[in-house]
Structure 1
Amino acid sequence: MNLKVRRLTEEPGEDELGEGYSGVNSVWVVLKRADLAAFSCRIFRMEPDGHTPMHAHGREHVAVVIRGTCRVECGSQVEDVGEGCIIRVPPNAAHSFSNPTKERLVLLVMNLYVEPGKTVKDASGPSVVGETP
């Protein structure tokens, strides 16, 4: 097994150009893989006033603010969270991430997938049926 080190400062990433995105560049940390179907991970680099669209999906997010301040909207909740904070967005919850500051935001976003066709009970809401990654 070979150790591989990537420098985030050297990763060009991909600009998110989908509807509702503004000023967001993403770098895949762990790609979606056939042998790791229940997890993926990427880093969002978000410019001042950048944002993702309000959206919902069947996977759970666990995000960590690496640098800057992230405004998280989830349902009726809005909260600004700083460096070192861990954010959990439950499956099927409408949510968005944005950068309310004049400094670049760096956000690690992990995607946790429920096994396709499986139903689980989320502690904060109704049953969730898994989606295909």
Structure 2
Amino acid sequence: MKILDHYEQAPGQSFEGDAVKGVVGRVVIGKNDGADNFCMRIFTLSPGGNTPRHAHQWEHEIFIHEGKGKLLNDGQWAAIQRGSVIFIPGMEEHQLKNDSDQDLVFACLIPKGVAEL
């Protein structure tokens, strides 16, 4: 069993580039913890930040923990906020953007066998 008092206890990895801005990712539960089926990651998007626009074979599930922003959904931008729950099927293009003045924090679950970050 693993218990973190706060997700920020997990080491953060910053992402910056042409397609990604202001993103910190943390693996809070993963293969190093003995998780055989899923990986839980926590991402923080700073104000004005965004994940890359992308698609991949696996599904994933997202829970918005804090803040608000937008999600690219079927070519349209949908508002997301604290408490929003999102299911993204495999091969569906998606992107998250923080268009607010506060951090956007979300949990993201992915299956085993893919890169954890």
State the TM-score, normalizing by the size of structure 2: 0.83
* 2-structure distance, mates of 1:22, 1:28: 19
Q: CA deviation at 1:35?
A: 5.8
Is 1:42 aligned to residue 37 of structure 2?
no
Aligned to 1:69: 68
Aligned to 1:28: 27
Identity %: 26
Distance 1:36 1:12, change over 3 A: closer
How many equivalent residue pairs? Answer: 114
Query: Whose radius of gyration is greater, 1 or 2?
Result: 1
Misfit runs of 4+, over 6 Å = none
* 2-structure distance, mates of 1:89, 1:36: 21
Structure 2 alignment gaps of length 5 or more = none
User: Matches of residues 48-59 of structure 1 in structure 2 within 5 Å?
Assistant: 48-59=47-58
State the TM-score, normalizing by the size of structure 1: 0.74
User: Matches of residues 62-101 of structure 1 in structure 2 within 5 Å?
Assistant: 62-101=61-100
**Per-residue deviation, residues 71-123 of structure 1 (Å, max 9, x unmatched):** 1103313101111110111110011111010111111111136xxxxxxxxxx
